[in-house]
Every structure is written in structure tokens, then in C-alpha cells.
Amino acid sequence: MRQLIIIGASGHGKVVADCAAKNGYENIIFLDDDKNVTHCGKYKVVGRSKEAARMSGDVIVAIGNANFRRKIQTSIAENRLSTLIHPEAVIGDDVEIGVGSIVMAGVVINSGSRIGKGVIVNTSSSIDHDCMIGDFVHVAVGAHLAGSVLVDDNSWIGAGAIINNNLHVCSSCMIGAGAVVVKNIEEEGTYVGVPAKRIMNKC
């Protein structure tokens, strides 16, 4: 029986579990560092994240915060990491998806794109041709990246945001929900609005 250990029993964890079940995992269990959390949807929380090392089964980290996701994922041997692609996602030719990444339902990733490790490509978002998405990026629900967009490690593209084609978003940026990015973003920070403007120098 295929077992998957999901680290992080949040709402995001529930969606990851749905996707895992559609990928053929029959035994799904959760680990979470909050000892007060006992369940994630219908699944049990059976221990803390550090216990993954001594348990058998594949592992995926379902934590939204990029720094925590990176820290936990890099503590786990790569050959134990699962990569989940929902059967209702559309993946073009010559697309590479790194270990520990998850591609949710309704996503389209077009030809020639590269998706890093530990990336969340969330429900109904799209990544057009020849995009380069760094490690531990989150493309939130309904966000759209036009062709040849480059997003560096750890950045978060908020729900419904749009990044125009050929643009670069540097690492550790937060692009707010509904923002439209029309110029390269070369400084870390939080950007909101149409066109997107920096409102904070950190994310």
C-alpha cells in the first residue's frame, strides 16, 4: 500500500491530501508541529515533522511559508520526496517539475517551462510557455504568468495576480492578490495594485 506522509496539517494540507489520493496514495498520514492539531480533514495527525525521518513512506511538505517549507524539505532525503500533479492539470511538452512540488487541479503549465523544487502551483493558476520558476515559489490560486516569466526562489505570486510576459520577479517578493506586474521587480518586497507598486521593503 503506497503511504504518503504530509507535513503540515493546514487547509493547504487538505488540498494536498486530495491531490495525493488522486495520485494513487492509499494511506495518507499527517505530521504537524502543533501538538493541538489532531486531524486534517478525515486524516490523522500522527506526530511531529522531525519524525518523518524514521517513518516509511514518501513525504511532501504542505506548508505555505516558503522558508519553513524549504527548511523542512531540505532536511528530507530527495529520494523520499513525492511530486504531486493533479490528474486534471494540463502539462505541456518539455516541462520539468522539481521534487516536492505540487500542481493542483485546473492548472495549465505550457511548453518549455521549468518549475523548481518545493513549488506550489495552486488551483486554476497558469504558467505559460518558457517560464522559469525558482525553488519554493508559490503561485497562488488563479494567478497567471504570461510567457517567458522568470520568478526567483521563495517568491509568492498572490491569488489572481498577473505577471506580464518576459518579466523578472526577484527572490523573496510577495505579489499581492489581484496585482498586475508590468515591469521587472528587482528589489525584495511586497507589491500590490494595478500596476503593481512596492508598499513594503520586505515580504
**Assigned C-alpha cell, 195:** 500596476
Q: How far apart are CA 54 and CA 144, in angstroms?
A: 39
- Shortest Å, Cβ 36 to ligand COA: 23
**Contacting positions for ligand COA (CB under 6 A):** 122, 140-141, 158-159, 174, 176-178, 190, 192-193, 199
User: Which one of the listed residues 86, 129, 138, 144 is annotated catalytic?
Assistant: 129
Task: Respond yes or no: is residue 144 known to be catalytic.
Answer: no
- Shortest Å, Cβ 5 to ligand COA: 22
Long-range contacts of 84-90 (CB under 8 A, 24+ apart): 84/16, 84/19, 84/20, 84/23, 84/60, 85/23, 86/19, 86/22, 86/23, 87/22, 87/23, 89/121
Q: What is the DSSP letter of 98?
A: -
- Shortest Å, Cβ 144 to ligand COA: 13
Q: How far apart are CA 202 and CA 31, in angstroms?
A: 30
Q: Which is nearer to ligand COA, 118 or 176 (CB)?
A: 176
- Shortest Å, Cβ 173 to ligand COA: 10
Query: In sequence order, which residues have a C-beta less than 8 Å from that of residue 44 and are 6 or more positions away?
Result: 29, 30, 38
**Where does 23-64 have alpha helices with state H?**
none
Q: Which residues are catalytic?
A: 129
